[in-house]
Structure 1
Amino acid sequence: MKIEAAGDQLKRKLLTIDDSTLPRLVLHALIAAAVAFLVIDFRNLMIANAELPVFDPAAPDSMPVLPPVLTDGEPDNAPSEITTSVELLKQPITFELQPGGVLLARGAIDYGAAGRFQKEIEARGEYVKTVSLDSPGGAVGDALAMSKLIREKKIVTTVVKGALCASSCPIVLAGGVTRSAEDGAVIGVHQVFNGSKEKLSPERAMSDAQRTTADVTRHLDEMGIKPGLWIHAMETPPDRLYYLKPEEMKEFALVTGPAKVTAAAMKTK
């Protein structure tokens, strides 16, 4: 189809753009989001939404921790390597101080998570040097706030072997002044979707998704993340995950160097 060909051509162009001004990046991202929405039949979208697993950030145990993989072939960091129990990952995110200034952030990012995280950072002063993430994601607004605070405090972020960082969790990861993922860390992205049980009209759903896309795209650009990461997220349905290969994490600048935290920091699983 001509529309599909145009979409593929646009994707190739976006993946090859260099680091330019913020307005240009946001414009390209919004164009990509608009094209993605325009090629979807709204009737089919509403039918599909009724069948999708719904995550309500007010009830983290509703989180679908491991949606089916959607990627070109099985990645090196396959979901089977996750060592944290599903029960722990579905609990509201908690923060536990580990040796060496490592703050372990584990669980679903529920409403209010950013506020609890801020209190934890304020209570620990400058002792926290690294945030180690193990989360299936959750509320995008809270993830953005956590990421911004991490950058403001000049904290390092990491995902260690056997840990999960999916959905909105990579937004938090992006806030690190340096970012790392050990071999065996599982990192996945997908589309933003309505995170409550409220049924929105197609027009309202599109408006909310576009606004959130703009907010996330702007933030990722400010954190130095390449646009290809968010393009993969936008083209992956909310009931699937695109699991990033190690080389993609480097290509998109989601990771910036070798891991500084070992799996020993994850011993309380």
Structure 2
Amino acid sequence: MRLAKSSGSSYGWALLCAAAFCLALPGFAAALDNPASVNATIEVRKQPMQFTWTACEPHCQGWINAVGIVTAETPKAFDDFTAGRDVAGMTVVLDSGGGSVNDAIALGRRWHELGLRTTVGTSVVIKTETGDRAAVLPDAYCESMCVFMLLSGKARYVPEGAHVRVHQIWMGDRAEDARAASYSADDLMIVERDIGRLAKYTFDMGGAGDLLYLALSIPPWENLHELSPAELRSTNLVTTDRVADVLPGGGTADAPVAGLVTKPVQDRFPGNVANTAVAGTIVSKPTKTAEAVPTGGVATSAPAEHQQ
């Protein structure tokens, strides 16, 4: 995926270019070679969505990190996390494989009410001679219902190097072998009801019909479709190509850099993870709703009629 780089912002440079820049930094390879660190990051992405706060004062405003799968508890978890904080107009940095349709819609509407801005990435700490600097790297994934949460932002930015992928919603407990599974009339009713809710939500958030068309064209037994820069724009998923519009005054890397603590590129994991035990933790089961969680492998190019 490739979008225009932002101009006139040193933090825009940090967001778009840090991944390549840091390859030459002392300590970077050691961070990636640490199995415990890598495994911990993978497990976090498989668990229910967690919210953390990145504060970068006095260099920038700070932002909210949203990492993991959306479950029935996620909307309340967000409200609990933000209780007592004035988060109106803040930015949410997403790294998520999707999850429950109805709960993701509820969370997206909540973000929209708060006027939050959205982007895709992973937060890191750059250690400099003058102190730690917070930054965001584009090595992240926003898949399935995460894409519709991205759509809720009043300003939406997808950096070059981030991956935004879509596919159909499906019954979460049968997504792994969707063709072989059996379905009742009630199951079909649930899926069609949730498609209707998703369509209303999409238009309420300012999304285009192209987004629904692209998502609903990819069945769960096919690989997720990664949106191209042209598709990101035609679907109204991005509203700006300037990182400063979502992370104003973001942390800079203008001081000499001594090292970097960072996360590796996101792994792929099964679509039914919301029903499994991960690292000894029982992950919450989904609500009675369709699911939009990754079920394919790596994304492939769209069919001819999807090319833009």
Query: Shorter-chain TM-score: what band?
Result: 0.5 to 0.7
**1:184 counterpart letter in structure 2:** G
Secondary structure at the aligned position of 1:141 is classed as: helix
**Contact map agreement 1:103 1:128 (CA 8 A) in 2:** no
Structure 2 matches for 1:108-123, cutoff 5 A?
A: 108-123=69-84
**Contact map agreement 1:101 1:128 (CA 8 A) in 2:** no
- Look up the match of 2:186: 204
1:182 deviates by: 0.6
Q: 2:232 aligned with 1:249, yes or no?
A: yes
Range with bigger deviation, 85-94 or 199-208: 199-208
- Look up the match of 1:87: 43
1:192 is aligned, of 163, 169, 173, to 169
What is the aligned residue count? 190
**Contact map agreement 1:156 1:179 (CA 8 A) in 2:** yes
The structure with the largest strand share of the pair is 2
**Contact map agreement 1:134 1:164 (CA 8 A) in 2:** yes
2:148 is aligned, of 163, 171, 179, to 171
**Contact map agreement 2:94 2:119 (CA 8 A) in 1:** yes
- For residues 125-147 of structure 1, the C-alpha deviation after alignment (integer angstroms, 9 at most, x for no partner) is 23661011000111111110110
Structure 2 CA distance, aligned partners of 1:134 and 1:166?
Answer: 9
Range with bigger deviation, 214-223 or 236-245: 236-245
1:263 deviates by: 9.6
1:118 deviates by: 1.8
**2:47 counterpart letter in structure 1:** Q
**Contact map agreement 1:76 1:245 (CA 8 A) in 2:** yes
**2:165 counterpart letter in structure 1:** G
- Look up the match of 1:129: 90
TM-score normalized with structure 1 length: 0.64
* Distance 1:167-1:114 versus aligned 2 partners, 3 A rule: same
Structure 2 matches for 1:250-265, cutoff 5 A?
A: 250-257=233-240, 258-259=242-243, 260-261=246-247
Structure 1 CA distance, aligned partners of 2:219 and 2:110?
Answer: 29
1:212 deviates by: 0.5
TM-score normalized with structure 2 length: 0.56
1:268 deviates by: 5.5
1:221 deviates by: 0.2
Structure 1 CA distance, aligned partners of 2:174 and 2:234?
Answer: 36
Structure 2 CA distance, aligned partners of 1:95 and 1:130?
Answer: 12
**Contact map agreement 1:95 1:104 (CA 8 A) in 2:** yes
- Look up the match of 1:154: 115
Range with bigger deviation, 239-248 or 221-230: 239-248
Unaligned runs of 5+ in 2: 4-18, 20-31, 33-37, 56-60, 122-137, 176-180, 253-259, 264-308
**Higher RCO (CA-CA < 8 Å; seq separation 6+):** 2
- Look up the match of 2:286: none
The structure with the largest helix share of the pair is 1
Secondary structure at the aligned position of 1:148 is classed as: helix
Structure 1 CA distance, aligned partners of 2:172 and 2:225?
Answer: 19
Structure 2 CA distance, aligned partners of 1:226 and 1:109?
Answer: 23
Structure 1 CA distance, aligned partners of 2:206 and 2:88?
Answer: 25
2:195 is aligned, of 202, 209, 213, to 213
* Distance 1:243-1:267 versus aligned 2 partners, 3 A rule: farther
Structure 1 CA distance, aligned partners of 2:107 and 2:226?
Answer: 22
**Contact map agreement 1:190 1:234 (CA 8 A) in 2:** yes
* Distance 1:144-1:200 versus aligned 2 partners, 3 A rule: farther
Q: 2:211 aligned with 1:229, yes or no?
A: yes
- Look up the match of 1:62: none
1:163 deviates by: 1.1
Q: 2:67 aligned with 1:106, yes or no?
A: yes
